[in-house]
Amino acid sequence: MAHSEIPLSRPSITEREERLVLEVLRSGRLSIGPMVERFEQLIAERVGTRHAVACSSGTAGLHMVLASLGIGPGDEVVTTPFSFIASANAILYVGAKPVFADICPKSLNADPEAVERAIGPRTKAILAVEAFGNPTHMSEYARIASKHEIFLIEDCCEALGVRHEGRNAGAFGRAGVFGFYPNKQITTGEGGMVVTNDDRLADLCRSMRNQGRAVAGRGSIGTGASAGSWLSHERLGYNYRMSEVNAAIGVAQMERLDEIIAQRQRVANRYMQRLMDVPDLILPTIPEGAEMSWFVFVVRLAAGYTREERDRVIQGLRNHDIGAADYFPCIHLQPFYREAFGFREGQFPIAESVSQRTLALPFFGEMTDREIDLVAQTVQVILGREQLSRGTAR
**Residues tagged active-site:** 184
Task: Work out which of 129, 195, 201, 372 binds ligand PLP, going by CB under 6 A.
Answer: 129
Spatial CA neighbour of 160 closest among 140, 143, 185, 135:
185
Stretch that binds ligand PLP, among 152-160, 166-174, 215-223, 274-282 (CB under 6 A): 152-160
Examine residue 59 and tell whether it contacts ligand PLP (CB under 6 A). Answer: yes
Nearer to ligand PLP, 87 or 356 (CB): 87
- Only segment of 22-30, 42-50, 101-109, 151-159 that touches ligand PLP (CB under 6 A): 151-159
173 binds ligand PLP (CB under 6 A): no
Q: What would you report as the CA-atom Rg of the chain, rounded to the nearest whole angstrom?
A: 21
Q: Which residue from 55, 125, 144, 157 is in contact with ligand PLP, where contact means CB under 6 A?
A: 157
Q: How far is the CB of 162 from ligand PLP (least distance, A)?
A: 13
- Residue whose CB is less far from ligand PLP, 227 or 245: 245
Per CB under 6 A, the list member of 57, 134, 353, 356 interacting with ligand PLP is 57
Q: Which of 165, 100, 149, 150 is nearest to 129 (CA)?
A: 100
Figure out which of the listed residues 58, 135, 176, 362 binds ligand PLP, where binding follows CB under 6 A.
58
- The residues facing 53 across adjacent strands are 194
* Among the listed residues 149, 147, 80, the one whose alpha carbon sits nearest the alpha carbon of residue 348: 80
What torsion do the CA atoms of 327, 330, 331, 334 make, to the nearest 10 degrees?
-100
Cis ω before 328 (30° cut-off from 0): yes
- Asked whether the beta carbons of 217 and 211 are under 8 A apart, the reply is no
The sheet that has 51-55: what strands, in order across it?
51-55, 192-196, 175-179, 151-155, 123-129, 76-79, 97-100
Is residue 210 a contact point for ligand PLP (CB under 6 A)? no
Q: Which of 275, 320, 319 is nearest to 301 (CA)?
A: 275
The contact pattern for ligand PLP, residues 68-107, with x = CB under 6 A and - = no contact, is: ---------------xx-xx--------------------
Q: Rounded distance, CA 57 to CA 93, Å?
A: 14
Site string for ligand PLP, 233-272 (x = CB under 6 A): ----------------------------------------
Return residues touching ligand PLP (CB under 6 A).
Answer: 57-59, 83-84, 86-87, 129, 155, 157-158, 179, 181, 192
